[in-house]
Amino acid sequence: MGFFFDTPKPRVTESEWRKIRDNLYSLHGFTTRELDRVEEIFRGDMHEENERDKGIDSAELVKGIQYMRDHIDTLYISKEKINALETEMIKYIAKS
């Protein structure tokens, strides 16, 4: 009888995102507009239907960061800020 259930992947939850958002604003100089754009990119991951899937896991983070790097000219978020976002998010995913 060995039923194995997938353990939830480490992820950034909505409450952790609020802390990251504050850090990005105060430590890395993100504007409110830039932070709103980041939230739009990750909104689907943060608000998934299944409760155990809510939040941003490492694969979703990689995908979102790559999207931002590919569209840097239309998002108007600098490479340095995208790197800071990635670093802050990884800190929380690693803690999970």
Distance (Å, whole) CA 30 – CA 84: 10
Using one digit for the tens of pLDDT, what is the confidence trace for 22-78? 999 999 999 999 999 999 999 988 888 787 788 899 999 999 999 999 999 999 999
pLDDT at 6: 61
Would you say residue 17 has pLDDT above 90?
Answer: yes
* Cβ-contact 31, 74 below 8 angstroms: no
Using one digit for the tens of pLDDT, what is the confidence trace for 73-94? 999 999 999 999 999 999 999 8
pLDDT at 1: 43
Render 43-85 in DSSP notation, one character per residue: HHHHT-SSGGG-SEEHHHHHHHHHHHHHTHHHHT--HHHHHHH
- Domain borders along the chain are 11-95
pLDDT at 53: 80
